[in-house]
């Protein structure tokens, strides 16, 4: 033990939606939690995400068709998937694993695992929604997947058949029915698929703060400092040299998590998908529910704080400056589908989505220390999977039987 180190029960490195949810669940088990984050509560990906509980998103990004689309996308620096040329060598090992994960055998295993995790997420969300300060922020308006042509719609049929296999409710709509669900669509939109039980939050940052308020009310502590080092024994060194020691350390530091895991000897191939969005004023359009433009890789969400347009994927690491032309491209695309959209007075944002090659998160104990636990790599589904992840981690620490097969999420699987 480090002499004069401050003693803690559970230290959670990262105060995003995953870390906050885990903190709340552990407090229900009687654990005392200390969150550490260099920026504070929900200041990274949890601040500006699309605000959806995407419980129907069972398909990994690494899919059999992705390798056919990728070359075309990568040639367009402002397309739905791009890699900055000077980052290509850095990301090559990740891309090789990504390619392997897209093979049919691995792809099917990933779908089964993702579906099980999302089923747990749905159950935990139902439970959490019974809490007044959580439930009053969740809306069940449904979502629309939009298609520009009959050919695009036909290409999607296989994915909907697979969703049906996993019990996901939906219906295909067009014409009058489509316009009733979302007035003001351009005639370019030919058809859509409606998911009635799709849920969104009023605002993702406000939602995260509500969980923090519960954690704080239960005597949770937040230290606003960076973490310089962790070790197998549960010791944590802050940027200012302060030494802490904990019975358990949980790493939920988003796109920076793999750097801490490496200090414990766990090599986890995490990459950052840089996502861009613009939040427009609430009166920019009469948006009834989340719209999903799958072919273009972005979504549009009605929030209490405005209308958020965002998505797409850019691989450029953690250090490169944002390229807000990507946000502008998304807005121009939306304008072509929603002619009445007012594009003025928007607020731009860029965030880092922590992603692993098989699109599944890393959840579980370090292979090198039972004091260290990981919960990161959720990609686009951090909000969606936050309560399921918290349930798994709380069961790991309490040595309870898991409610699903957690082996696909083993941090050591790579």
pLDDT tens per residue across span 169-214 = 999 999 999 999 999 999 999 999 999 999 999 999 999 999 999 9
Spatial distance between the Cα atoms of 96 and 51, rounded to a whole number of angstroms: 31
Residue 391: is its pLDDT beyond 60? yes
Residue 85, pLDDT score? 85
Please answer whether residues 120 and 88 qualify as being in contact, where contact means their C-beta atoms are separated by less than 8 angstroms: no
pLDDT for position 73:
63
103-107-109 Cα angle (round to 5): 130
Give yes or no for residue 267 having a pLDDT over 70.
Answer: yes
Query: Has residue 244 got a pLDDT over 60?
Result: yes
Q: Which residues of 288-321 are buried (b: 16+ CB within 10 A; e: fewer)?
A: ebbbbbbbbbbbbbbbebbbbbbbbbbbbbeeee
For the cut 70, the answer to whether the pLDDT of residue 288 exceeds it is yes
Model pLDDT, residue 202:
96
Q: How many residues does the chain have?
A: 414
Which residue from 255, 312, 332, 288 is spatially nearest to 50, judged by alpha carbons? 312
Chain center to CA of 320: 21
Q: Is the distance from CB of 260 to CB of 38 less than 8 angstroms? A: no
Q: Name the pLDDT band for 65 (thresholds 50, 70, 90).
A: confident
Alpha helices in 279-378 (DSSP H): 325-337
Query: Residue 114 — very low, low, confident or very high, per pLDDT cuts 50/70/90?
Result: very high
Nearest C-alpha neighbor of 220 from the set 2, 4, 30: 30
Q: What is the pLDDT of residue 297?
A: 86
Report the percent of the chain where pLDDT is more than 90: 86
Look up residue 317 and give its two tokens.
């690491």
**pLDDT attached to residue 63:** 81
Position 62 scores a pLDDT of 82
CB 368 within 8 A of CB 232: yes
Model pLDDT for residues 124-155, shown as the tens digit of each residue: 999 999 998 899 999 999 999 999 999 999 99
Give me the chain's average pLDDT, please.
94
CA torsion sign for 158, 161, 380, 407 is negative
pLDDT exceeds 80 at position 72: no
pLDDT for residue 1 is more than 60:
no
What's the pLDDT tens digit per position in 5-27? Answer: 899 999 999 999 999 999 999 99
The per-residue b/e assignment along 1-39, b for 16 or more CB within 10 angstroms, e otherwise, is: eeeebeebebbbbbbbbbbbbbbbbbbeeebebbbbbbe
- Please state the rounded mean pLDDT for residues 279-296: 95
Give pLDDT, residue 193: 98
Q: What is the pTM of this model?
A: 0.96
Amino acid 302: pLDDT = 98
State residue 83's pLDDT score.
Answer: 86
Q: Is 184 helix (H, G, I), strand (E, B) or coil?
A: coil
Considering the chain, what percentage of its residues have pLDDT values greater than 70?
Answer: 96
The more confident residue out of 99 and 192 is 192
> What is the average pLDDT across 74-88?
77
User: Residue 322: what pLDDT?
Assistant: 93
Q: Which domains does the chain have, with CATH numbers?
A: 57-88+138-199+270-355 (3.30.9.10)
């Amino acid at each position: 033990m480090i002499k004069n180190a401050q003693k803690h029960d559970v230290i959670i490195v990262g105060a995003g939606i995953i870390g906050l949810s885990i903190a709340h669940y552990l407090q229900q088990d009687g654990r005392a939690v200390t969150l550490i984050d260099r920026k504070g509560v929900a200041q990274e990906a949890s601040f500006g995400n699309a605000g959806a509980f995407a419980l129907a998103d069972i398909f990994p990004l690494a899919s059999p068709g992705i390798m056919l689309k990728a070359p075309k996308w990568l040639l367009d620096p402002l397309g739905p998937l791009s890699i900055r040329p000077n980052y290509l060598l850095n990301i090559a090992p990740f891309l090789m694993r990504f390619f392997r994960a897209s093979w049919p055998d691995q792809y099917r295993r990933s779908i089964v695992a993702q579906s099980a995790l999302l089923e747990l997420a749905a159950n935990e969300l139902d439970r959490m929604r019974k809490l007044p300060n959580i439930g009053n922020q969740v809306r069940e308006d449904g979502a629309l997947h939009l298609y520009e042509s009959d050919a695009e719609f036909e290409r999607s049929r296989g994915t909907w058949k697979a969703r049906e296999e996993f019990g996901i409710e939906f219906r295909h709509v067009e014409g009058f029915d489509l316009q009733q669900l979302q007035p003001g669509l351009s005639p370019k939109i030919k058809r859509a698929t409606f998911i009635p039980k799709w849920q969104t939050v009023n605002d993702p940052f406000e939602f995260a703060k509500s969980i923090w308020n519960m954690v704080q009310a239960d005597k949770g502590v937040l230290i606003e400092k960076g973490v310089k080092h962790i070790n197998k024994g549960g010791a944590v060194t802050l940027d200012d040299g302060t030494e802490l020691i904990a019975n358990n350390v949980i790493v939920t530091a988003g796109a920076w998590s793999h750097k801490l895991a490496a200090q414990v000897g766990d090599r986890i191939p995490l990459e950052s998908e840089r996502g861009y969005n613009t939040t427009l004023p609430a009166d920019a359009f009469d948006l009834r529910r989340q719209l999903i433009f799958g072919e273009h890789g972005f979504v549009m969400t009605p929030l209490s704080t405005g209308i958020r347009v965002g998505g797409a994927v850019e691989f450029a690491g953690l250090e490169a400056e944002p390229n807000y032309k990507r946000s502008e491209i998304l807005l121009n695309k939306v304008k072509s589908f929603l002619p009445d959209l007012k594009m003025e007075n928007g607020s731009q944002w860029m965030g880092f989505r922590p992603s692993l090659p098989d699109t599944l998160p890393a959840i579980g104990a370090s292979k090198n220390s039972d004091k260290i636990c990981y919960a990161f790599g959720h990609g686009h589904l951090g909000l969606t999977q936050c309560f399921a992840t918290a349930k798994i981690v709380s069961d790991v620490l309490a040595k309870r039987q898991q409610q699903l097969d957690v082996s696909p999420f083993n941090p050591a699987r790579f």
